[in-house]
Structures are given as structure tokens and as C-alpha cells.
Amino acid sequence: MKQELFLGKERQHKLAANHAVIFGAGALGSSIAEMFVRAGVGMITIVDRDYVEWSNLHRQQLYTEEDAKLKLPKAVAAEKRLQKLNSGITIKGIIADVNFRNVEKILEGASIIMDATDNFETRLVINDAAIKHHIPFIFGACVSSYGLSYPILPNKTPCFHCLMDHIPETSITCDTTGIINPIVQWTAAMQVSQGLQIMTDSPIKPMLRSFDIWKMEHAEIDVAALKNNQCPTCGEEANFPYLSMEKQTKADILCGRDAVHIRPSSSKTLDLQYLSNQWGKFVSNMTVNSYLLAFQYEECRIVLFQDGRAIIHGTAKSSEAKKIYHKLLG
């Protein structure tokens, strides 16, 4: 096949011997998965907690209107579709909310990890597991018309934790700002290209790459100097903090109130006035002051505090409350 003409038989065979784990089966994850399947990666595990909705269809290319009608879990719909594209490889869909309890089990036997998640906390959990088990981890993110990618090579490059102070949390998500399909494909293509290089033992240049497909701007940053010897994940005395309960977002059901209290894993300082301006188009009944931002979002009444805590009224399910929180704040 034409790919083999480019890679050569030896590197094509190496692809077939690899096991890629893709965390997230949304826009990025479905694009990455399809490219890996068509490329002949021998085993692919795709992990996601969500189901297919109508709003997904403009950018999540694996799914159909029928999947949305049936509300199929994305991991199930992706597995079924991908197996039809290449019956010669192994594909496994896992319906799961990735966390410190299950991530290491999911990664057993993996040779590479692809990030297609939608929040920083989950990435930090995956990052800890990747470094602990010496598995290359390719970070990717996109929102609006902007994308980022970066390959994390254990013992060689700074890890995601090292970069945390240099990749600011903007509180901008696809649900609050929107996204266009071309940036998804561009970001996925960057991640997949780097993944193919790693899986075929080809030289790779580990740069932090950013791109804005609407403005036609791009940049590369050499972040090697940001590797932190005191990093709790990849430093000299690593203790992998995000693989413990202490560093997880806590969700406490408020008894008798049909509400859940969300406590983020680390303290934030939110600009509530900025968020009220950003969110004004899709929330209602908004109240903002120096201490909190209260508003109606979909079926829930939400009170968001300056330190990142939130009380989500209208649900008594921790999983649902966390999903709403991450939709808004990433």
C-alpha cells in the first residue's frame, strides 16, 4: 500500500505490533482513532464515558444520526464503526470515566497514549500513569479555531505537570466558545504524525506546537528547559500525586437539596466578571458579584465561587455534576 512505500516494510510491521490507547472518543479521539485504524496500528483501545449526541455530529466523524438517536456510548459506536474499516486489527471500546483508580489497569500492555480528553485534571492523571509506566504520551487540545500538541517522552522531555504553569487554564471550552471542524483535523493530524514516528522508532522533534487555523498562524516552542527536577511526576523524587484520591475533584451530594457541591483538585482564582461576559450568550438568569456567579445552564441552577468551587442544583448525581462542571471550566 502507499503508506508502506513511504514507511518501508519494517516500519509498517512495527505499527502492527503496537497497542495505542486513546483517551476520549469525541472530536479529537474519533479522528485519531480512524487514522490509526487506517494506518494499521495493531491494537487500539478507545476509552470514553459519554454517549453520542446530535451536537457532536458536525465534528465527530465516526458517528451517525442513528448513533445519536440511540444515544449509543461513544466507545461502543466507535468500536463498531472502526472494526468495519479494518478487520485485520484489534479494537476495544471501554465505557469508563478515567480516574486514578482505573487508569493503570486500562494502560496495561499499551505502547503509546493519545490524549483526546477535555479537562486538565484527567490529563494530569494520565500523565502520572504514563510517566510511571514509561509510556509515550501525546498531548492534544483544541477549541474555537486554536489547537495545541506536544509529545511527552518519559525520562527525556518535560511532562505535562512540568508545563502546567506555562499552559494557562483559560476557562474556555468547546461548550462555551464553540469549535470548527478543521482545527480538529489539524490537531489530530499533528498528534497522529508524532504517534506514527514514535511507534516506528523514527526520529521525533519534541516541540510544543500551537496553531490557529482561522488566522493561519502557527508557532513552535522548544520547552526542554522547562523540565523540572523537582516535579512530583517526573522529578528525582516523583510520587505521582494525581494517582491518589487527594488530587481529584470532589463531588459531595448535598442531602435533601437535589444538589452537588464540586470541589476542584487545586484552588483556582476565577475572574467571575470575565466569565459572566463570556457565558452571557448561553446561560440565563445570571447574577454576579465579587464572591460568586450564579446562573441557569440547561436544566441546572449553578452557583460558581471565585475559588473554583460550585454548587450544581438540579441533580443528585456526582457524575452528572462533574460533567457539567468540566463542560463549563474544562
**Residues 6 or more apart whose Cβ sits within 8 Å of residue 218:** 209, 210, 211, 212
Burial of 16 from C-beta contacts in 10 A (0-12 / 13-18 / 19+): middle
Residues 65/17, Cβ–Cβ less than 8 Å: no
* Cell numbers representing residue 184 in the block: 480538529
273, 287 in Cβ contact below 8 A? no
CA gap 24, 48 in Å, rounded: 5
Q: Pairing relation of β-strands 19-23 and 259-263?
A: unpaired
Q: Would you say 95 and 75 are in contact if contact means Cβ atoms under 8 Å apart? A: yes
Residue 49 is given by DSSP the state S
174 catalytic per annotation: yes
Q: Residue length, the chain?
A: 330
| Bridge partners for 142 per DSSP | 147
The three-class DSSP label of residue 197 is: helix
In the set 159, 162, 174, 231, the catalytic residue is 174
Single-letter amino acid, residue 264:
P
| CA angle, residues 225, 227, 233, in degrees to nearest 5 | 170
Q: Which stretch of DSSP H or E encloses residue 93?
A: strand 90-95
Q: How far apart are CA 269 and CA 307, in angstroms?
A: 5
Catalytic residues: 174
